[in-house]
Structure 1
Amino acid sequence: MGYKVVVVGATGNVGREMLNILAEREFPIDEIAVLASRKSLGTEVSFGDKTLKTKDLDTFDFTGWDMALFAVGSEATKTYAPKAAAAGCVVIDNSSLYRYDPQVPLIVPEVNADAIMGYSQKNIIANPNCSTAQMVVALKPLHDRAKIKRVVVSTYQSVSGAGKEGMDELWEQTKAVYNPVKNVPPSKFSKQIAFNVIPHIDVFLDDGYTKEEWKMVAETKKIIDPAIKVTATCVRVPVFVGHSESINIEFEEPLDWQEAQDILREAPGIMLIDKREPGGYTTPIEAVGEYATYISRVRQDPTVENGIALWCVSDNLRKGAALNAVQIAETLGNRVLKKG
């Protein structure tokens, strides 16, 4: 016996990836509905070897459905997620709308699966920001061993984090570099993204940080430990898919790099590829289409008493969004609904 599952925003990058991963992981489904806005009504999407036609989100009745994976923006989520939740359908939301709500659990299953039981307060579970998701997978096993005091992270985030428009802009600007007649001015991004890096993701806050940077701070505290201090610099880079992060970690207790490697090698959701030689590390292009969060360049930081530095790479459309949502659905099924 399987579940009745809804995918909301099925025509977008993340929605399509959710469908791919549900099929790949053979999630137990008896019935599936794919929803989109009225302008995308009837658009066909793939689910395994099936082709499904999208239905109208505005008129859909969530009554009798077990869970809904939402891959739409905060505004649409604000309208439709409460309707689904009120109808008894558990919402797994990929937007930022509910991440900081104390009555909504923010879940990365490898890190804080037990917190999923808090879903019953609103019938909603939040999926974290893409850059946070991969980082906390790396941090949690190290925190369990030596207790993290402070994290300094710089991200190198792909344009797919900005949706199809971001990917299209990089593609068109890249072609334009080789065609001087054609000019493609910035539209989705504040400056040219092709052959460039932009130290600006989301809006600026009063303290000079961006909202993307603030998200990493707030979400890490909620998911792992509110006592951890985090400072982030988030940068958009001309990569289509795959986020990378340079992470510097300061611990309360001593931890050498070899033990850190051993811990990460055995940790759930992590693939350690760390040879101290050219090419002995993972780059974004190698993470595309994979489930794992890849860790490389683990080394001692001699500038603090108990410090480790490492490199972290993941497919942001997967672990940063769709895969984590499906893993939440699996956890919900195994621990709560227990149909599959």
Structure 2
Amino acid sequence: MSVKPEPTSALFAGPFALATLSAPDGPAFPALVTSDGQVTDLRVALSDEALTIRGLLESWGTALPRLRDLAAGGDVERRPLDGLRVHAPVEPRQVFQSGANYRQHVIDLHVAHRAPDDDRPEEERRAEAAKIMDRRAAEDLPYVFIGLPSAITGPYDDVVLPAWAEKPDWELELAVVIGRPAHRVGVEEAADCIAGYTIANDLTDRATVFRRDMPAIGTDWLRSKNAPGFTPLGPWIVPAESVADPGDLRVTLKLNGETMQDESTQDMIFSVARMVAYASQTARLLPGDLVLTGSPAGNGMHWGRLLRDGDVMEGSITGLGAQRTRCTAEAS
């Protein structure tokens, strides 16, 4: 069961965004959505029945001016967004996830994950974590790992909590959508590789982050982050030109109506451009790929309250819209 979005006067910043939509029981189609909630089927408007959002991003440089013209008016058929299903806006080939990129969040996790024999006062452990963050920033070493596209689900779809997940947690994040191939690009060039931004909730089972059987191996991101539906994505891709400053956006997550995360992207240790540039030093980023930029303070481990059956998460980022997902326990 999907939770429908709440009506709003302006769905996102700027004149238009991209989405993947479908009519009830109909096939998904790439769409241009205007901020007042009107939809243009891009397969029809661009005369390409096989078009997808990822296909559009493959030729972003030439597609963007055409999208601007479509949004401005002209002889195109539009229909209301109401009644259409909103899917994840893009199917990426690669998902790059950033860990430990919000200063306060990392400090909170450092305190929450203390070793059983660590009886130091909390203030001392927080000071230690702060020094670690300062060193990382000075040494210019972001932390990036790989996620699975199969974990992505829509922004209003239910999230199934696996029976094995003992401590499922939320992590709302600003997600970068790549608009042209990027390999070994510098920070200054990275911004030119970004088509737009969307919202991701990078769910994590805290109980399986670390391998208990092989502590020396470290983290197990496959197990802890990549269950089907563990990455609600969207609802929209807002073009980068409509986002004035990705380093000054408010990231807010509410659980059953109560605010749990509410932080600015100013708290990021490494900027959006730095994360994209860093990932590109090893991998070749492709159009439609996602770079998740980390999550701010206020996750479940901080509050001592993890996700459970029936919980409703509402996540929003300034100018990018909002997603709303309900948690359901996996049937035994």
Tell me the TM-score range normalised by the shorter chain: under 0.3
More contact order relative to length (CA 8 Å, sep ≥ 6): 2
